[in-house]
Structure 1
Amino acid sequence: MAHPQPRWCRSNDARHADPEHLRGRGSPEGVGVQARRSQLTYQQALDFISKQGRFAMKLGTERTRAILDRLGAPDRELRGALIAGTNGKGSTGACLTSILRAAGHGVGFMPKPHLVSYTERIELNGSPISEGDFVATLEALMPTLDEVASEMGPATEFEMLTAMAIAYLAPRIELLVCEVGLGGRLDATNALDLGIAVITNVDLDHQKYLGSTIGEIAREKAAIIKHGNRVVTGCEGEALAIVEAQADAMAAQVWRLGRDVIVDAISLGWGGHELSVRGPDFAHRDLRLPLVGDYQPANAALAVAAARLLGVVGDDAIREGLASTNWPGRLQVIGQHPRVIVDGGHNPAAMVKAGTALRRLIGSEKLVAVFGMLSERDPVKLLGALRTMRPDAVVFTEAASAQGHAIAPENLASLYGPDAYVAPSARAAIDMARELAGPSGNVLVGGSLYLVGEVLSLKD
């Protein structure tokens, strides 16, 4: 089976805000809706979508549901998995999508956010939607968007992209894997009921929107569980108790990682992992997973369990699917001499896990970090997580695509202290970091998906 197409490509797409659920603000200046329907270019489509409001927030499922219902509710016939969790959603979704494809099914995947191109968010059988189909889908949706806007206000960027994905994918697929954008209860994707709910884990992130405690955040994520669903979760402690309570209220079956689903893994270094996964009615041994990171076997196990609950795969598909899983931007090596690695973890828990895994891989080798972060993040906590990686130096920079919503690199360097450098751009930061690391060292790019995406677009 061929590897799925990577999620990065050369593109001039503007990076999407994180959080991404944005307040509607009407049409792009100077472009009328009627005129756009027959002559939108891809860039005009991006301008229209992104200008619905960047770096603002408006949560809720009502408008998404209204749009889908006016389209004939194409999502009602879809089966698959809705995946929530603080970390690991994308990796779990990528593993599950690859397994389902290996079983011969037509599969749609809705990962979030994109790294480089908006087209990454609508994936059909391993390939992103084409720019032409992206535009055509938006144009076809515009009359419905107008109708809903007249009654409920304009759709946000995230609502639009969710509706576009369903409208495009539903006629073309058998199964859908959808990653939740933020939280769960009020996320636009929670308008969907795919039968399987996966909650990877719960940690502190996006507290401004989800709550300040593990319990509050867990309740937001557990709300994706709907009546009669089957649930797979890697949650522990208080978060697990909340997931179990919601599942009980919804008459939903639960498989828990570490109790019902067991994974054993051996690291193969930069080659990924060899693992075995067993559950209530299955056992799969000697599986190969190319994803690097100590946390990836758990994500793969959740994907295997979800695939088994869907009842549409066997051992061969699980074996082939995991072996061909591709998920860029997570401890991904994109260069050598020095080794250049990108990692999209942008909350303390994700960064600490990535740093622990990276240090196990590189040992005492020299490490230089290229780091940037959005202004909504807590710099003290993220810089504390960065220090756990024990970098020899850090080059702070700002992704151009963050559009002024990043913390100034000079401020980050001042907070960090010794061995901090500042570069005016991602390219300049990479060049400086490579020189500091030397040919036998390592460069890690992280802290912001904007920065990771920008570096990936420079990859070649």
Structure 2
Amino acid sequence: MSQDTKSHSLQSSLKEWLCYLEHLHSQEIELGLSRIGQVASHLNIDFSFAKVITVAGTNGKGTSCAFLENALLGQGKSVAVYSSPHIERFNERLRINKVDSDDQAFIRAFVEIEQARGDISLSYYEFTTLAAFLVLMAQKPDVIILEVGLGGRLDATNIIDADIAVITTVDLDHQAFLGDTRDAIGYEKAGIMRANTPVVVGDKNPPQSLLDYGNSLNADMYLREKNFFVSADESKQDSTGHWQWRHERQVLPDLTLPFIPQDNVATALMVLSLLNLELSGEQVNGLIDKTRVPGRTEIFHGQSDIMLDVGHNPQAARYLANVLAKKRRQPGYTRVLAVVSMLVDKDIVNTLEPLAGSIDSWYLGTLEGPRAATAEQIAQALAADDENINCFDNVTQAFKMACNNAKATDLILVFGSFFTVAEIRRLLV
């Protein structure tokens, strides 16, 4: 949208609007609820018609939301999920009953926000979050699942009081905004809690700051390893990997291995129990089979198998290392070739370190944009032999070379950023 075009035009395309919003605010990320809260008040944002679940966490937000979505849809509820960032299309950020919102719904919301905000400057994320809220108010689904974008306490989604808060995991990421310790980050994520309201914590060892925050509010906390548990099914001695989930009212034995992290399934099951939705083992196994999320250990089969994962922090890398260890055993990949590109503000050294023993060759590319780490910067973070590291101008070049060098028994792993996965996934879908 050019500067001489009225920003509040219904005739402007979604692409033009998004371009305008990218340049509207002085900072790409500015945490805080004051500005968005004022505009939300002008717009009379109100979700009293729906049950609201807000999901925060370092990792596992998107997969937990997807499992909850599938379970609630299966019960005949209308369900909306708001998440960010998107992988391929902006419209992915808001889906209602598994259908992405269309361009015109967003454009109408943008126009309303532009007229309501006056002189208040909003970041791209704040503006688009408010737009999603307006679309939700028009559609009025039974359940709204909000995935927190960054942190929790000061994230734009936190202007909404949730009926149930969920914190999947707490680990190091976005330290420039959230602090450089688990305690500091835990405090920020705990900010989505509300007084006398249920909160489900999926982290097996939550930081004390999070527990203290919940206790100060008298929040109704449901903690992993205290209120709900995961264990192997001792009655199964075969190699199927069956497991069980339990809390004080229900035991679900004989669950199959999920395509998403098992811990996130466990956390979601606790949320469903609080919603008085108690499923049978057969129903849960059906949901496990159905819940597969793009860009989360997503497999594409071809001349060589390709796995895409948006993991971009040390905790996600540790999970990936465990997945690769299993993949080497079954189906028995001979080598793993990693295609990696990351943002320079991420903890590159500690993200790559857990995977060092799992990767046979590295293919490093440079993403577009000012936040991108160069392939050479990523290479410096690797403690590997020079002959196993290959640097390229962009991710697509790195991927194509990995494909050329891969054999049928090799696995190509693409990870490091949502942007990395988005660039490669376009070539595969």
TM-score if structure 1 supplies the norm length?
Answer: 0.84
Residue 236 of structure 2 aligns with which residue? Answer: none
Matched, 1:301 2:251: no
1:38-117 aligned at under 5 Å gives the runs: 38-53=10-25, 56-117=28-89
Runs of 5+ consecutive residues of structure 1 not aligned to the other structure: 1-26, 267-271
8 A contact 1:84–1:221 mirrored in 2: yes
- Answer whether contact 1:343 1:446 (CA < 8 A) is retained: yes
Is 2:356 the partner of 1:356? Answer: no
What is the letter of the counterpart of residue 420 of structure 2? L
CA shift for structure 1 position 368? 0.5
Q: Between Structure 1 and Structure 2, how many residues are aligned?
A: 416
Residue 81 of structure 2 aligns to a residue whose secondary structure is strand
**How many Å apart are 1:310 and its aligned residue?**
2.0
Q: CA deviation at 1:223?
A: 1.4
- 1:327-378 Cα deviation digits (max 9, x unpaired): 1111110232211111111001111211221121124621110001111123
The one-letter code sitting in structure 2 at the alignment partner of 1:301 is: A
Alpha-carbon deviation of 1:68?
A: 2.4
In structure 2, distance between residues paired with 1:342 and 1:395:
14
* Structure 1 range deviating more: 405-414 or 224-233: 405-414
Instruction: Determine whether 1:157 maps to 2:124.
Output: yes
SS across alignment from 1:359: helix
- Please tell me whether the aligned partners of residues 202 and 223 of structure 2 are also in contact (alpha carbons under 8 angstroms): yes
**1:444 pairs with 2:416:** no
Q: How many percent of aligned residue pairs carry the same amino acid?
A: 27
Cα distance in 2, alignment partners of residues 392 and 237 from structure 1: 33
Distance 1:206 1:244, change over 3 A: same
SS in 1 for 2:372: coil
Q: Give the 5 Å matches for 1:18-417.
A: 29-34=3-8, 36=9, 38-53=10-25, 56-145=28-117, 147=118, 150=119, 153-170=120-137, 171-237=139-205, 239=207, 241-264=208-231, 274-288=242-256, 290-292=258-260, 296-312=261-277, 314-315=279-280, 318-363=284-329, 365-388=334-357, 390-399=358-367, 402-416=368-382, 417=385
- State how far apart, in whole Å, the 2-side matches of 1:205 and 1:329 are: 19
SS in structure 1 of the partner of residue 73 of structure 2: helix
Deviation string 1:32-77 (CA, Å, 9 cap, x unpaired) is 224x2x2111211221222235873211112222222222222244
Give distance in 2, aligned partners of 1:85 and 1:414. Answer: 29
Shift of 1:206: 1.2
Does the 8 Å CA contact 1:111/1:122 hold for their aligned counterparts? yes
Q: Residues 273 and 291 of structure 1 are in contact (CA less than 8 Å); yes or no, is this contact kept in structure 2? A: no
* 1:74 and 1:167 in contact (8 A); partners too: no
Q: 1:156 to 1:254 in 2, by over 3 A?
A: same
Relative to structure 1, the CA distance from residue 54 to residue 380 in structure 2 (aligned partners, 3 Å threshold; closer, same or farther) is: farther
Q: Does the CA-based 8 Å contact 2:340-2:363 persist in structure 1? A: yes
Alpha-carbon distance in 2 for matches of 1:238, 1:283: 24
- Matched to 2:191, the amino acid is A
Quick one: which amino acid aligns to residue 197 of structure 1?
Answer: A
- What stretches of structure 2 of length at least 5 have no aligned partner? 234-239
Alpha-carbon separation, structure 1, partners of 2:355 and 2:205: 26
Task: Using the TM superposition, give the Cα deviation of residue 313 of structure 1 relative to its aligned residue in structure 2, in angstroms.
Answer: 5.6
Deviation at 1:222, TM superposition (A): 0.9
Q: Is the CA contact 1:83–1:199 (under 8 Å) kept in the aligned structure 2?
A: yes
Q: CA deviation at 1:445?
A: 0.4
Asked whether the 8 Å contact 1:76–1:193 carries over to 2, the reply is no
The alpha-carbon deviation at position 396 of structure 1 amounts to 0.6
Whether the 8 Å CA contact 2:320–2:355 is kept in 1: the answer is: no
How many angstroms does 1:179 deviate by? 0.9
Alignment RMSD, CA only? 2.4
- Helix, strand or coil for the counterpart of 2:199? strand
Q: Is the 8 A contact 2:71 2:287 kept in 1?
A: yes
Q: Deviations over 1:185-214 (max 9, x none)?
A: 111111111211111111111111111111
Find the residue that maps to 2:310 and give its secondary structure: coil
Structure 1 position 318, deviation (Å) = 4.5
Which residue in the other structure is 1:458 paired with? 427
Is the CA contact (8 Å cut-off) linking 2:79 and 2:144 kept in structure 1? yes
Distance 2:35 2:275 in 1: 29
Contact preservation (8 Å) 2:49, 2:140: no
Displacement of 1:426 in angstroms is 2.7
